[in-house]
Amino acid sequence: MPHADSAFVPSDIQTKCEFWNHVHDQLQGLLEGQRNWISNLANASALIYNALLAFPAHFGPGNRAVNWCGFYIDSAFFPAAHDLDQSGKLLLGPFCGKPACQFINITPGKARGVCADAYLRRETILVPDVERYPGHIACDGETKSEIVCPLLLEQGDKQIAVGVFDLDCLALEGFDEEDKAGLVRLADLVVKASDW
């Protein structure tokens, strides 16, 4: 199967639960034979973004579409930080959508926004209305709701946060608990399938 076809959503997929299970299986196949995190996150964002756009029923009528899907990764995992002081930041990783903030501060005391909060708390944050979220960083003024899921790597008895997975929506209340469950599973899959 050509790689692009993995984002196809068959018509017998009707519910969100079926949708997320389908995307999970497609992602598993797509990541096979590759452990480079940059390549894997690139294909994960492309698959999830395009599958969501191919399943508009998910977001209901009208303009309820996902407008950004991607990753911010702790600068410590990037190959080279050169002279720039990149420590204490999440750097923009692979994504689909319009250009976004290059970095997000995660230094305690300076951290702000949904991504930093999800990363530091190590918990998924559902934001039904971004204007009501204190500290929300607006990369795109058209975004109305958001969900951010931390990427958690198990290392022995330790759990390390390597970054976050962020989805934005043009409608209020774009995501719900079912999406949260689906995304947490996808985040776990991509973390385990990659070398960090």
Tell me which residues touch ligand SME (CB under 6 A): 68, 100-101, 104, 113-115, 136-137, 139, 143, 146, 166, 168
- What secondary structure does DSSP assign to the chain, as a single string? --GGGGG---TT--SHHHHHHHHHHHHHHHHTT--BHHHHHHHHHHHHHHHHHT-GGGG-STT--EEEEEEEEEGGGSS--TTS--TTEEEEEEEEES---SEEE-STTT--SHHHHHHHHTS-EEES-GGGSTT---SSTT--EEEEEEEEEEETTEEEEEEEEEEEESSTT---HHHHHHHHHHHHHHHHTSB-
Per the DSSP assignment, residues forming a β-bridge with 104 are 90
Residue nearest to ligand SME (CB): 113
Residue whose CB is less far from ligand SME, 131 or 154:
131
Q: How far is the CB of 112 from ligand SME (least distance, A)?
A: 8
Q: How far is the CB of 104 from ligand SME (least distance, A)?
A: 6
Q: How far is the CB of 89 from ligand SME (least distance, A)?
A: 12
Residue whose CB is less far from ligand SME, 40 or 145:
145
Residue whose CB is less far from ligand SME, 9 or 164:
164
Q: How far is the CB of 29 from ligand SME (least distance, A)?
A: 27
Residue whose CB is less far from ligand SME, 166 or 179:
166
Residue whose CB is less far from ligand SME, 13 or 146:
146
CB 170 within 8 A of CB 150: no
Q: How far is the CB of 171 from ligand SME (least distance, A)?
A: 15
